[in-house]
């Protein structure tokens, strides 16, 4: 057992007052490498007080000065990205190449935050009425709580805090207690880049810490990412407290393969999107819908490719790492039995994998299920592991009906060479992010990220213009400076003449 990870409040590590701790594992070795503090509501309050105290000065700091901090942060993060990738692999388990990709996608949002001078430009209507100008300005919302999941310990915090901070807010970040170190590392780097203490604080914890943030009167807005039941809880509680909330939830993403598709391209895509990061991605493809006429061919091409995947320690050049915990690995593995009992064909059973790593690691190999009934929990539930289900369909209309009957609406993809079919697919699916021959359609930072239905509670997506709007509120100003030639007293309403 190693160190204890502290909170990071007011520009320095802080141990808080709670004596509750939670273990942090190296999932590839199955050992506890450190413990993390679990904040009490009083600890959360201390962090919110630090953020509140920093707010007035930071929100009045010029855009140019805030930009300078973000530019320096970008330089430091770019130079030291390997250090962060090593932390991600050590605590999450994802392979180093995937950790590097996560950081690259996070850096895109830092780049977006660097366009703050443009995002923050208001609107101006000159002479809206005679001698009257109307303009809209935006101001930061205040103290923002950011609560993030285990599966992207750097990218998801980076979806939010660069924009929130660059827009003049102060932040309390509550990362997943399963892989918490990346958040401290990022907050320390922001301070090294020149961010004043108290602007970006990190508290670690579980439900106690989250609920304290949701109900704290000085928290103005909440950005949450996690599973659907918790997203719904966060949305319900925090909106009940009058806060602005965006709560991104779970997913079950379908990939439709039409008979005219390039089946090799589709099989590669299914492998990448189904098993990358061990399937622990909210945009992972977990269901391949194959039109019956090509289903056998597609299943055999996916199965053949699975044989070439190297499963093992993310530090030693493998393709796929372990799952986050032993308990999660067992839960995911149980779905293989569930699917078999419900009538699916288990084409590849990942429980027999031989991994290139410590036998105590939380291993589960890529798993392929065919003919999965829509009534099976293996189809219905978000499994969040390397289990790819194939559902066979008669054609396009049945596929659309299945996608639209899902309670989730995060991502979906179509593989086809028919532009008309792709266009109809894009128009008819009730899903927030759509890929056309692209299996994981995570939008670039200047478009916004977010699903529909049970994949997002609240009206605001993450990053892009929506992200900026979420972290600011508008003031509309109507002003009249009387000209020396004004007509004297007039008690009437302006008549817009």
| Binding flag, residue 225, ligand NAD (CB under 6 A) | yes
What is the rounded CA–CA span in Å between residue 179 and residue 25?
Answer: 8
Sequence-distant (≥ 6) Cβ neighbours of residue 413 within 8 angstroms: 253, 254, 255, 256, 269, 273, 285, 434, 435, 436, 437, 438, 439, 440, 441
Question: d(Cα 439, Cα 285) in Å, to the nearest integer?
Answer: 7
Q: Is 100 helix (H, G, I), strand (E, B) or coil?
A: helix
Nearest distance, CB of residue 460 and ligand NAD, angstroms:
13
Residue from 45, 215, 227, 430 binding ligand NAD (CB under 6 A):
227
User: What are residue 476's DSSP bridge partners?
Assistant: 136
CA 179 vs CA 82, 151, 278, 328: distances in Å: 17, 9, 16, 14
Q: Which of 277, 367, 412, 455 binds ligand NAD (CB under 6 A)?
A: 455
Catalytic residue IDs: 282
24 binds ligand NAD (CB under 6 A): no
| Window 425-454: residues binding ligand NAD (CB under 6 A) | 451
278 binds ligand NAD (CB under 6 A): no
| Contact window for ligand NAD (CB under 6 A) among 9-17, 100-108, 248-256, 421-429 | 248-256
Spatial distance between the Cα atoms of 397 and 383, rounded to a whole number of angstroms: 26
Q: Which of 66, 243 has the CB closer to ligand NAD?
A: 243
Question: How buried is residue 446: exposed, middle or buried, by Cβ count under 10 Å (0-12/13-18/19+)?
Answer: middle
Residue 325 in the binding site for ligand NAD (CB under 6 A):
no
CB of 151 to ligand NAD, least distance (A): 5
* Residue 161 lies near ligand NAD (rule: CB under 6 A): no
Minimum distance from residue 44 beta carbon to ligand NAD (Å): 12
Count of residues touching ligand NAD (by CB under 6 A): 28
**Which among 17-25, 64-72, 142-150, 422-430 is the span making contact with ligand NAD, rule CB under 6 A?**
142-150
- Which residues, numbered 377-406, are part of the site for ligand NAD (CB under 6 A)? 382, 384
Q: Which residue is nearest to ligand NAD (CB)?
A: 226
C-alpha–C-alpha distance, residues 85 and 91, integer Å: 10
Work out how close the CB of 155 gets to ligand NAD at its nearest, in angstroms, rounded to a whole number.
Answer: 9
The residue (of 206 and 358) whose beta carbon lies closer to ligand NAD is 206
Tokens coding 52? 């509140």
Q: Which is nearer to ligand NAD, 227 or 426 (CB)?
A: 227
How many angstroms separate the CA atoms of 448 and 433, rounded? Answer: 9
Establish how many alpha carbons lie within 13 A of residue 456's alpha carbon, considering only the half-sphere containing its beta carbon: 19
End-to-end CA distance of the chain: 77
Q: Which stretch binds ligand NAD (CB under 6 A): 144-152, 352-360, 427-435, 463-471?
A: 144-152
The smaller minimum CB distance to ligand NAD, of residues 93 and 451, is found at: 451
Distance in angstroms (rounded) separating the CA atoms of residues 486 and 495: 15
Structure tokens at 114: 């660097």
Can you tell me the distance from the alpha carbon of 321 to that of 280, in angstroms, rounded to the nearest whole number?
11
Instruction: Work out how close the CB of 208 gets to ligand NAD at its nearest, in angstroms, rounded to a whole number.
Output: 8
* Six-digit token string for 98: 């995937």
Nearest C-alpha neighbor of 106 from the set 176, 155, 153 = 155
Among 10, 91, 102, 177, binds ligand NAD (CB under 6 A): 177
Q: Give burial (CB, 10 Å; 0-12/13-18/19+) of 2.
A: exposed
Shortest Å, Cβ 334 to ligand NAD: 17
Beta bridge partners of 256: 289, 414
Closest separation in Å from C-beta 468 to ligand NAD: 18
Binding-site member from 11, 249, 279, 361 for ligand NAD (CB under 6 A): 249
Contact flag: residue 147 with ligand NAD (CB under 6 A): yes
Residues 330-369 as x/- pattern, contact with ligand NAD by CB under 6 A: ----------------------------------------
Q: Which two tokens stand for residue 193?
A: 């880049």
CB-neighbour burial class of residue 471 (10 A; exposed 0-12, middle 13-18, buried 19+): buried
61 binds ligand NAD (CB under 6 A): no
Q: Give the pair of three-digit tokens for residue 355.
A: 């991994």
Kindly state whether residue 10 participates in binding ligand NAD, applying the rule CB under 6 A.
no
Q: Which CB, 10 or 280, lies closer to ligand NAD?
A: 280
In this chain, which of 18, 138, 176, 448 binds ligand NAD, going by CB under 6 A? 176
Which span (137-145, 162-170, 181-189, 246-254) binds ligand NAD, by CB under 6 A?
246-254
Does 179 bind ligand NAD (CB under 6 A)? Our answer is no
Chain residues binding ligand NAD by CB under 6 A are 147-152, 156, 174, 176-177, 206-207, 210, 225-227, 230, 233, 248-251, 282, 382, 384, 410, 451, 455
């Amino acid at each position: 057992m190693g160190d204890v990870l502290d909170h990071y409040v007011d520009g320095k590590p802080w141990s808080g007052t709670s004596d509750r701790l939670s273990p942090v594992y190296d999932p590839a070795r199955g050992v506890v490498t450190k413990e993390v503090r679990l904040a009490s509501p009083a600890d959360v309050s201390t962090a919110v007080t630090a953020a509140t105290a920093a707010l007035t000065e930071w929100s009045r700091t010029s855009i140019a000065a805030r930009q300078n901090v973000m530019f320096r942060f970008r330089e430091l993060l770019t130079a030291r990205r390997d250090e962060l990738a090593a932390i991600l692999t050590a605590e999450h388990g994802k392979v180093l190449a995937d950790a590097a990709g996560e950081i690259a996608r996070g850096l895109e949002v830092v780049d977006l935050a660097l366009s703050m001078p443009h995002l923050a430009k208001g609107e101006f209507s000159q002479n809206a009425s005679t001698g009257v100008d109307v303009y809209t300005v935006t101001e930061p919302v205040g103290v923002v709580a950011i609560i993030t999941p285990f599966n992207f310990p750097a990218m998801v915090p980076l979806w939010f805090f660069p924009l929130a901070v660059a827009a003049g807010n102060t932040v309390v970040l509550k990362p997943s207690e399963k892989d918490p170190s990346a958040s401290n590392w990022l907050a320390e780097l922001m301070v090294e880049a020149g961010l004043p203490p108290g602007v970006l604080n990190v508290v670690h914890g579980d439900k106690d810490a989250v609920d304290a943030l949701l109900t704290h009167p000085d928290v103005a807005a909440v950005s949450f990412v996690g599973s659907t039941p918790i997203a719904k809880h966060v949305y319900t509680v925090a909106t009940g407290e009058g806060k602005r909330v965006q709560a991104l939830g779970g997913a079950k993403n379908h990939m439709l393969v039409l008979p005219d598709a390039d089946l090799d391209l589709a099989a590669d895509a299914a492998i990448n999107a189904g098993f990358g990061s061990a399937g622990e991605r909210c945009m992972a493809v977990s269901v391949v819908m194959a039109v019956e006429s090509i289903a056998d061919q597609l299943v055999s091409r996916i199965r053949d490719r699975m044989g070439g995947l190297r499963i093992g320690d993310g530090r030693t050049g493998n393709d796929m790492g372990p799952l986050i915990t032993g308990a999660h690995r067992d839960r995911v593995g149980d779905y293989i039995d569930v699917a078999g009992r419900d009538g699916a064909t288990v084409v590849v059973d990942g429980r027999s994998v031989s991994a290139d790593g410590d036998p105590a690691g939380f291993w589960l190999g890529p798993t392929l299920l065919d003919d999965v009934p829509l009534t099976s929990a293996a189809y219905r539930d978000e499994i969040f592991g390397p289990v790819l289900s194939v559902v066979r369909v008669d054609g396009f209309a049945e596929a659309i009906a299945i996608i639209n009957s899902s309670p989730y609406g995060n991502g979906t993809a179509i593989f086809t060479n028919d532009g008309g079919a792709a266009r109809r697919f894009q128009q008819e699916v009730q899903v927030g992010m759509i890929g056309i021959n692209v299996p994981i359609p995570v939008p670039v930072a200047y478009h916004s990220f977010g699903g529909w239905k049970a994949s997002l509670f609240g009206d605001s997506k993450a990053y892009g213009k929506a992200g900026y709007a979420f972290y600011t509120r508008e003031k509309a100003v109507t002003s009249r400076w009387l000209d020396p030639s004004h007509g004297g007293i007039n008690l009437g309403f302006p008549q817009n003449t």
